[in-house]
Amino acid sequence: MSAPLRLMAVHAHPDDESSKGAATMARYVAEGVEVLVCTCTGGERGSILNPKMDLPDILENITEVRRQEMERAREILGVSQRFLGFVDSGLPDDETEPLPEGCFAVQPLEVAAAPLVAAMREFRPHVILTYDDDGGYPHPDHIMTNKVSVEAFEAAGDPDRYVGLGEPWQPLKLYYHMGFTRERFEALHQAMTERGIGSPYGDWIARWEDRPQKWEVTTRVPCGDHFETRDQALLAHATQVDPDGFWFVCPTGLQQEIWPTEDYHLARSLVDTELPESDLFAGIGAEQCVPAAEVSHANR
């Protein structure tokens, strides 16, 4: 390759990058891939989910605290990161409750997508990671993250769209995270049960018919060697993650043995690739990997 491959992960809030695709990013960083996390909001309205951190001084400074947590996670993963500047929409208790004025999820699509288009044209990623059209779960910011990711993927290479936001650049592949599949949780549940470890997944599996899987898994990225890095990045988000909670019930070693991949659905591809895949960059050849500076010069 004449230049490093580049991967962009688009997330709704600080901490999402560490719970979805973190081991994948750590693997590719170790292999020399340039990785940029774009975080749409500052997580200002996120609840404190770790009871040990539910303190008045943290609540009063939650925006700065979450930025500091993001910086620690970024350093652990070895990625670059930027905030896109929108305000967290929060998760309403009632779906009929109106969202806060001016928040990310109520922005017009072109307004919400513009900073991401600009980031794509500057960073020039070959591959984009994001959520599916249900957001992975129905948080309004996650759903909007899917919308802006698809919009930016389709518009960033078009010189007639988002004029003035940089030289056009067309990413080649767009993936949806598929980390929460029934198949994965059944495998972990069975392994934990057989080893006499209390499994937290039984109730999830019993209710799975209420959450049919919309997208097939097309791509499984081996990254078990980086699960410990993923866990350390997740723990860096101390207000959001209880070290004694759900995320860490299944031992890391067991996960590495039973399910050593992070899984994705290939939603868009402008290159030929053969499914199933084990590499997000499958099908991307040397001719697509010229240095960003050369592409920018050629487009002038």
CATH number of the domain that residue 87 is part of: 3.40.50.10320
pLDDT above 70 (res 219): yes
| CA 42-84-284 angle, 5° bins | 125
Min mean pLDDT across 146-150, 278-282, 290-294 is at 290-294
- Are 206 and 229 in a shared domain? no
Report the distance separating Cα 71 and Cα 79, nearest Å.
10
- Are 152 and 210 in a shared domain? no
Domain boundaries, position 259: 6-178+215-298
What pLDDT was estimated at residue 5? 97
12-68 pLDDT tens trace: 999 999 999 999 999 999 999 999 999 999 999 877 888 888 777 887 888 999 999
For the segment 102-118, the average pLDDT, to the nearest whole number, is 98
- Are 116 and 198 in a shared domain? no
The answer to whether the CB of 204 falls within 8 A of the CB of 185 is yes
- Residue tagged 């050629």 (tokens): 298
- Are 204 and 235 in a shared domain? no
Domain C-terminal end among 214, 230, 263: 214
Give residue 289's pLDDT band: very low, low, confident or very high (50, 70, 90): low
What pLDDT was estimated at residue 297? 33
What pLDDT was estimated at residue 210? 67
- Are 84 and 105 in a shared domain? yes
pLDDT above 60 (res 199): yes
- Are 152 and 193 in a shared domain? no
Q: At what angle do helices 227-236 and 62-77 cross, to 10 degrees?
A: 160
- Are 103 and 230 in a shared domain? yes
Bridge partner residues of 261 (DSSP): 222
- Are 130 and 206 in a shared domain? no
Q: What is the DSSP string of 216-236?
A: ---EEEE-GGGHHHHHHHHHH
| 16 labeled binding residue | yes
pLDDT above 70 (res 274): yes
206 located within any domain: yes
* pLDDT > 90: percent of the chain: 77
Min mean pLDDT across 71-75, 178-182, 269-273, 287-291 is at 287-291
243 located within any domain: yes
- Are 87 and 128 in a shared domain? yes
- Are 76 and 193 in a shared domain? no
Domain C-terminal end among 196, 214, 232: 214
Give the residue, 26 or 96, on which the prediction is more confident: 26
For the segment 109-130, the average pLDDT, to the nearest whole number, is 98
96 located within any domain: yes
- Are 118 and 223 in a shared domain? yes
What is the separation of C-alpha 148 from the centre of its chain, rounded to a whole number of angstroms?
13
What pLDDT was estimated at residue 235? 96
pLDDT above 70 (res 298): no
Give residue 214's pLDDT band: very low, low, confident or very high (50, 70, 90): confident
With H, G, I as helix, E, B as strand and everything else as coil, classify residue 248: helix
Domains held by the chain: number = 2
What pLDDT was estimated at residue 100? 93
| 13 labeled binding residue | yes
For the segment 129-144, the average pLDDT, to the nearest whole number, is 94
1 located within any domain: no
152 located within any domain: yes
What's the token pair of residue 1? 């390759």
For the beta carbon of residue 119, count every other beta carbon within 10 angstroms: 21
Give residue 146's pLDDT band: very low, low, confident or very high (50, 70, 90): very high
What pLDDT was estimated at residue 270? 98
With helix as H, strand as E and coil as C, how does 62-100 read?
HHHHHHHHHHHHHHHHCCEEEEEEECCCCCCCCCCCCCC
| CA 33-221-71 angle, 5° bins | 50
What is the separation of C-alpha 135 from the centre of its chain, rounded to a whole number of angstroms?
11
Give residue 207's pLDDT band: very low, low, confident or very high (50, 70, 90): confident
- Are 274 and 250 in a shared domain? yes
pLDDT above 70 (res 288): no
Q: At what angle do helices 227-236 and 22-30 cross, to 10 degrees?
A: 120
Report the distance separating Cα 273 and Cα 79, nearest Å.
26
